[in-house]
Amino acid sequence: MHVAARRLVLLALTACAQPSLPTAPRPRAAAAEPAPQIASAIAAGRARLQALVAAEPIAGLQVAVALRGTIVWSEGFGFADLATRRVVEPRTTFRAASVSKVITVGLLAVLVQAGKLDLDAPIGHYLPKLPAHLAPITARQLAGHLAGVRHYTSADGVRRVDERHFATVTDSLANFQDDPLVTPPGAKYAYSSYGFVLLSAVLEAAAGAPFLDALAAQVLAPLGMRDTGPDDVTRIRPARTVLYQRSDAGTLVDADATDPSSKWAGGGMLTTSEDLVRFASGHVHGGPLAAPAIAATLFTSQIDGDGKPTGVGIGWRIADGDRRHFHHAGAMDGARSIVLVYPDAQLAIAILSNTTGRPGPIHELAIDLAAPFLDPPNPAGAVPGR
């Protein structure tokens, strides 16, 4: 459908009060009834998300919860495409936005454990053609936003689909590699998606294979993440969502078309909530990302040049308090995302949306939805991973 025609359809759909949007079918029936606490937690979470989609201008949401490596809840709410009334299903793919960063860290963890990557070696060792001011930076600093590489801005001029598509990670370094650092390496925390783009080039060199190929072979395939991959605008992906944003009038319209090829590692992946909880569970329930040494590295806060903890380990954000957990959220055109894991309970939750900025305080929403699942009995009758 032409964009202009689609906008007219969307304005007509959203100008009136939000209807009661349908819930997608359950992906598969459990072999037996779930434990009462889990059933109660699912019912409460379902009611919360149904009300959220009905009350706010949100096109669609997707949620999954895994407990001790088993998916106990996976459900879609609302629409992947408002114009065609295509509902969100468990295998509908959403933009991961900045949650892509922790997926990238999965490859880093594999390469470190294999002895192919030294977190504290100058990245010039892996990328000898880098500009001199970038060469002393380390992979640890890049992964912890301590490298001083600038973040991208809307003024970069390469974000729209019709402006430029990057075929390789190395090509996309041209966006920022000649720009000065915003802080000396190691001095201050400075969030940077471009820092993760540079990190992906380092990982590519360490792996001896293109970044996306290495990620697919060494992380996605072993963890069964078959619906996760690059948000490549040159490919047709029938299961992906249409992207929406809220207009000034409060209605839903198509989000601006953007090409994430400049930032695969920092915000350019497509995924599902089921795949994200498989990934998160891989850090605390066996698998290639759960070895004690690498887990301690990933989930220990880095220290800035003043000796202060940043609250970020290797990619992952660390939340201490009543219930320690690790998380990362994301936001971009037509996307809102979060993945969160409680290591002591071996519980992971992921939420994905195809509406810019909605839901808003997504970290708090994930905590609220996860709370009833914490410390339940064994998940009898839980839905097994695919």
As given in the structure block, the two tokens for residue 329 are: 């959220």
Query: Rounded to an integer, what is the distance from CA 362 to the centroid of its chain?
Result: 13
The H or E element containing residue 327 is: strand 325-332
Amino acid making up residue 338: I
Q: pLDDT per residue over 8-49, tens digit each?
A: 344 434 333 332 223 333 333 343 567 889 999 999 999 999
CA distance 268 to 323: 30
**Spans of all domains in the chain:** 3-14+54-271+285-346+359-373
Residue 137: is its pLDDT beyond 60?
A: yes
Output the CA–CA distances (angstroms, integers) from residue 313 to 63, 207, 283, in the order listed: 25, 22, 14
Q: Scanning the structure block, which residue is given the tokens 């998606």?
A: 193
Query: What pLDDT band is residue 154 in, cutting at 50, 70 and 90?
Result: low
Give CA angle at 67 (66, 69), nearest 5°: 75
Q: Give residue 378's pLDDT band: very low, low, confident or very high (50, 70, 90).
A: low
Secondary structure (3-state) at 15: helix
Q: Which CATH superfamily is domain 3-14+54-271+285-346+359-373 in?
A: DD-peptidase/beta-lactamase superfamily (3.40.710.10)
Average pLDDT (103-116) is 96
Would you tell me how many other CB atoms lie within 10 Å of the CB of residue 30? 16
Q: What is the pTM of this model?
A: 0.88
d(CA 299, CA 290): 11
Q: What is the pLDDT of residue 23?
A: 33
Average pLDDT for residues 62-82, to the nearest whole number? 96
Least confident of 30-39, 174-183, 212-221, 373-382: 373-382
- Per-residue pLDDT at 158 exceeds 50: no
Determine the pLDDT at residue 379. Answer: 52
pLDDT at residue number 155: 61
Buried b or exposed e, range 132-149, using 16+ CB within 10 angstroms: eebeebbbbbbbbbbbbb
Q: What's the rounded Cα separation, in Å, for the pair 250 and 16?
A: 11
Mean pLDDT of 247-275: 93
- Which residues, including other chains, have CB under 8 Å from residue 176's CB and lie 6 or more apart? 149, 150, 152, 194, 197, 198
371 secondary structure, DSSP code:
G
Task: Give the mean pLDDT of 191-203.
Answer: 97
pLDDT tens for each residue of 301-347: 999 999 999 999 999 999 988 899 999 999 999 999 999 999 999 99
Q: Work out the number of other CB atoms within 10 angstroms of the CB of residue 12.
A: 12
Neighbours of 309 (CB within 10 A): 14
Quote the mean pLDDT of the chain.
87
